[in-house]
Structure formats: structure tokens, C-alpha cells
Structure 1
Amino acid sequence: MIFTGTNFILRRWQTDDAVALQKHADNPNISGCLLDRFPYPYSLTDAVTFIGLKKDETPITNFPIVVDGEVAGVIGLDFRQDVYRKTPLLGYWLAEQHWGKGIMPEAVKLITGYAFQNLDIINILAFVLGGNPKSMRVLEKAGYKKQGVINQSVIKNNVVMDEHVYAGR
């Protein structure tokens, strides 16, 4: 399964993606905008472990973003339990050298379309830390709507901040 964007593709994970994943993920400007479960520094072992968890998943819910033949980011859906089982969380990141090129809004649109056509879902949510307005803009460009702000609800790098909630349908 491959989705083709203007300057990138989304495809299934491959074992040999680990080196490029580690190279681009090991960036404090990326980890600083993500949940604490995203490690920093990001080691080759972290990359190998992550790919091992994702490369054979069925259905596919996590894709490498491949730019110029190299993994330069990740986009995926995180399925939850209980009453949230049909409303996955969207997560993504892109190598800093590719920021501002329009890749991520297009990738969000591709995975959103895929999810509603192929997965049993009713909505997709995305939570953005307050210090990340560029990610908010990505979601807005992709057609997601801000649902609200949860004030002073998260702590990242010892800074308490708001969390912005977006939904895509």
C-alpha cells in the first residue's frame, strides 16, 4: 500500500528504514513537540524497536513519510479503547529540513481519507501542545477544526502548557 503525495510517499515500514528514522528523529526540536514517550536522544535501537512494532501491523495505521527515497518523518493513528475505540488520535512529525514545504498538510489529508475509507472510525482527534503553532496550522490546512483548548493541562520539559484539540472528519 502506497500513497503518493506531491513530493513524498507514505508506505509500509521496512527494516532498512531504521538508520534514516534515527537520523531525523534525533532532534530536540521534534521531540520537544511530542509526547514524552517519544525518546530523546533517539537511538538506533529506538528506531529498530519502533519499526519492529509497526512493519507488520494489520490494518496499517502508521506510515513512514518518504522524501527523496529516505524516511523523513512519520504519520499514524493511535487507536484507543472503550468509548474512544472509533476515534483514534492522529500523530505526526517531519524532519526539520522539510518543514514549510507543504508535505505535512498533504500527508494528513491522505491518512485521513485512508482512515475513513478503510477503518471503522467516526472521527479523528489530534492534540497539539500550546507551544507548537506550526502543527496547529498543519491541521487547519488539512481541514481539521479546532474543538477547543484545555488550559494548563500538560507538562513538557518542565513547562506547563495548554493543549489544543482538533478534529477531522
Structure 2
Amino acid sequence: MIPTFETKRLVIRPYVKTDADKVELLAGNPKVAETTVAIPHPYPKGLAASWISKHEKKAIEIGSYTFAVVLKSTSELLGTLTFRVDIDDNKAELGYWFGVPYWGNGYCTEAARRIIEFGFNELKLNKIRASVMTKNPASMKILTKLDFEKEGVFKQDIMKSGNYEDMVYYGLLRQNYQYNR
């Protein structure tokens, strides 16, 4: 049900049970949790296995795809991309997190570009949106590289670790999509 994609350096595939330990290691880093809405810190033992077990059902029932991003050369897990499709409004929401050792290598941009291509070229979506905490400029830079436009800032939009966080919302319209050649 969850498709697999390849890029020059990466494989973007469904998660499997054996990924759980690596997810706990990567997501357990406080730097990852700090700027990620849904990742708790400390990361509870066993949470990754439970999380992975729900992916296929969520894809079937609500069109929410969660992908493992791995290096093509070694199959090493780098991080996660999520793509929540809203068929009724012909749009999707892109989300991502990567382990700290893999930051700054362009992996997230490369993987996200392929999922955006899937969204516009294969699913024929009209819009892809993403949101990021204002305290995460690296994530904002990724979205800018992918031609997303800033649509606005929502003050105190989410609560993370007992604190309200401001969120920046971005969008990419099909008419502005540059990779469909």
C-alpha cells in the first residue's frame, strides 16, 4: 500500500519492524524532539515499534503515508518523511525529521523533492503544504529550496513540552511547481 521511491542517493520506502531500534536512537536525540511537533523527549522504549505497526492502516484509512528514508548504498536509516493526502481538497501535508548525524547533507531536500514529484505528477494534487516551528530555520531553508512560499505565521499555534510554539506555514501550488519536466 505504501509505495517505494528512489533518488540518486536514497530509497524512500515503507517502514519495517526491524527499523524500530534505529528510530528510537535517532528520534531519542533531544535536538530532533526539540523542533518536531510529534516526537516526545525522552523517547519511550517501544514507541517506535507501535508507531511503525500503524503505518499501513493509516495509509489505507486516511491517506497518511509515512516513509523511511535510507541510504541507497548501505540501507542505513536516516529519517522520516510523512505525506498526509487530503483527497477531498486535492492537497497534502509534507512533514519530515532526520537524525542529527545526517543533518546538512541535503538528504531531506532530496527525499522531499521526490515525494513532491509523486504528489504533483502521480497524485495530481493542487497544493502541498508544510509547517515548521519558528525556532527551526534549517527546516525553513529546506522548504525554501523546494520552492515553497511562506503563507503566514501562527502565534502560539502548538504546545510542545509545556510551551506554546509559533508555527510558520508554507505552501507550494501545482502551478508554481518547477520539477514537473
Q: TM-score, normalised by structure 2?
A: 0.80
Partner of 2:110: 106
Partners of 1:96 and 1:11 in 2: CA distance: 20
The aligned length equals 166
One-letter amino acid matched to 1:96: V
Displacement after TM superposition at 1:158 (Å): 4.2
Partners of 1:60 and 1:117 in 2: CA distance: 18
1:70 aligned to which of 63, 73, 76: 76
Displacement after TM superposition at 1:80 (Å): 5.6
Q: List alignment gaps of at least 5 residues for structure 1.
A: none
Two-structure CA RMSD over aligned residues (Å): 2.3
Per-residue deviation, residues 59-80 of structure 1 (Å, max 9, x unmatched): 6722101123122210012346
Q: 1:23-34, aligned counterparts within 5 Å?
A: 23-34=25-36
Q: Does the CA-based 8 Å contact 2:64-2:85 persist in structure 1?
A: no
Counterpart secondary structure, 1:78: strand
Displacement after TM superposition at 1:55 (Å): 4.2
Partner of 2:123: 119
Partners of 1:43 and 1:162 in 2: CA distance: 26
One-letter amino acid matched to 1:50: W
Per-residue deviation, residues 23-80 of structure 1 (Å, max 9, x unmatched): 1111111111111x32222234111011101146346722101123122210012346
Deviating above 4 A after TM superposition, structure 1's stretches of 4 or more consecutive aligned residues are: none
Partner of 2:170: 166
Partner of 1:22: 24
Counterpart secondary structure, 1:110: helix
Q: 1:35-74, aligned counterparts within 5 Å?
A: 35=37, 37-55=38-56, 57-58=59-60, 61-67=65-71, 68-74=74-80
Counterpart secondary structure, 1:88: strand
Q: Does the CA-based 8 Å contact 1:18-1:44 persist in structure 2?
A: no
Identity across aligned pairs (percent)?
Answer: 27
Counterpart secondary structure, 2:117: helix
Q: Does the CA-based 8 Å contact 1:74-1:94 persist in structure 2?
A: yes
Q: Does the CA-based 8 Å contact 1:106-1:142 persist in structure 2?
A: no
Q: TM-score, normalised by structure 1?
A: 0.85
Per-residue deviation, residues 119-162 of structure 1 (Å, max 9, x unmatched): 36321111110100000001111121111222343443444442
Counterpart secondary structure, 2:125: coil
